[in-house]
Structure 1
Amino acid sequence: MTSETITADAAGTWKLGELSVNRIGLGAMRLTGSAAFHLGTPSDRERSIAVLHKAVELGVNHIDTAAFYFSSLRSANELINSALSPYPDDLVIVTKVGPYRNYSGEWGTSARPDDLRGHVEENLRQLGRDHLDVVNLRRMRQDSIAEHFGALAELRDEGLIRHLGISDVEPRHLAEAQAIAPVVCVQNRYGLDLHDPATDELLRICRDQGIAFVPFFAIAGEGGSQGVSGDHDEEVAAIARAHGATPAQVRIAWTLQQGPHVLAIPGTGNPDHLVENVAAGALHLSDDEMARLDALHTKAA
């Protein structure tokens, strides 16, 4: 499919609170290197900055990032700040807190509720902002998120955060968070070859309540933070050939067609892949193609 002139508004828009975003965004994790959290060879700085410039040029106004997205010599937040500050008025930067990495890159224990202020302030410092548009609480296997989410709600009341979301959760955690403060988005691992009944239920609940559902690893699938393996089911490849598209574009299109409340944040450090990812917002799959892909998704359980 032709991609050069397709912009991010082709997929339509949704709102995070009162903030309108195009449904195709950009995940910033891969800006720091070819694999997430890689502390060997850093990404090429100018190429990563070119990705960010190109994203804005193509109408991407939703960037997902985190202070713990860094590799040797590269920080996703610093790259965003350097490339895009002063920020466009319509740009929505979403970050997340909960996981913790020390400066040598090693993962530490998950944050305590009283650690979250420092994590929010670090994101503010790196991004050069006086408030964060949206902060997701990434659940780190704790049974209840009430205390952690409550700590973020206090920072929201102080004006450091505009809106709150949650990540890696079950339906009960959404209800738990909503009893404390409004939730504008839910981020869970979800994709064509990733099937989890609890996440399917969250997808439905978010649709019914008008909450944005934001899948991560929608292209990478089982590859997760290491990226897509390069292996694609023949069904995906056949549909891609029929549209003159790539398998990754088919995966993004399938994800977006799960509902108008679904936002895609494919990550890349490659300007050409960015153009392809954005163009996927204009790819419409037929009912028959969706049924074939849905069967793959169900089989992945």
Structure 2
Amino acid sequence: MSYLLTQLVNGVSLGLVLGLIAVGFVVVFKSTGVLNFAHGSVLLLGAYLVARLHPELGFWGALAAGVAGAALVAALINTLLVRRVAEHDPGVLAILTIGVDILLLTELTRQIGNDVLDIGAPWGASVVGAAGVSLPASRAIAAGTAVVLFAALGALAARTDWGLAMRAAAADPDTASLMGIRLSRTSAVGWGLAGALAAVAGVFLTSYPTPGVEPGVSVVAFAAIPAWVLGGFDSVPGAVAGGLVIGVAQALAIGYESELHFLGGGFGEVVPYAVMVLVLLLRPHGLFGQKEAIRV
């Protein structure tokens, strides 16, 4: 029983990290309507900056610089590229972000080379435990951080002018613009916020289970896409719920891989996508997505 509880707790903590990444997808989609496939490389950039800067700035200074750098690059992607083709089909914008992802990932891969860069996290490889359940300190801190950030994001969306502007822009951008809302500023803040969340998630992904920054981290980050899709594309609570579903499913699949050997080795890596397909067969609009009403 303690093993099962450990896997469940581990899955919840992983799910909260995936939720951070998925919420970034949601914020970009709500503020600009773009499927941002450059999100994984922005996450890698944030972790890379922390790894490069922590010897000079210390971990916390490097973390601040990494979060700010990822937010700035994400905002620039929107301002310099996405907004210039904003009138095009959403498919064109999605392909544009794929191109940006390839370029940014290629450059980061060149910079990292064959190295695995240490981020200098102060919690190291320590483990915490209670009631027979053990959990890496990185995962425990990640879970607590994610909960705090989700609460802050909820307050930001509900109680600030930017939150109101983003909701208005997502509902009807033309009317929002006529009412004096600067769509360019709203979208830039949305992209920057998504980049900052990605950088925080990147730090935790590179702390455990394989410490260190290497190019494959951006691929791991894409496990959050099923969480985003499960949540319904434009729902922050849905993204969090989707992250929890994917995290628990993946943790259980990996933890009980020996009992699931008939499914083949490495099944845990494809579980997020298998769960996504299964849920979408039952709820095509995701767990929290709303079916769009079309009036004729």
For the aligned pair, the TM-score class normalised by the smaller chain equals: under 0.3
Q: If the length of structure 1 is used for normalisation, what is the TM-score?
A: 0.27
Structure with greater Cα Rg: 2
What is the TM-score of this pair, normalised by structure 2? Answer: 0.27
Relative contact order, higher structure (CA 8 A, sep 6+): 2
Q: Which has the higher strand share?
A: 1
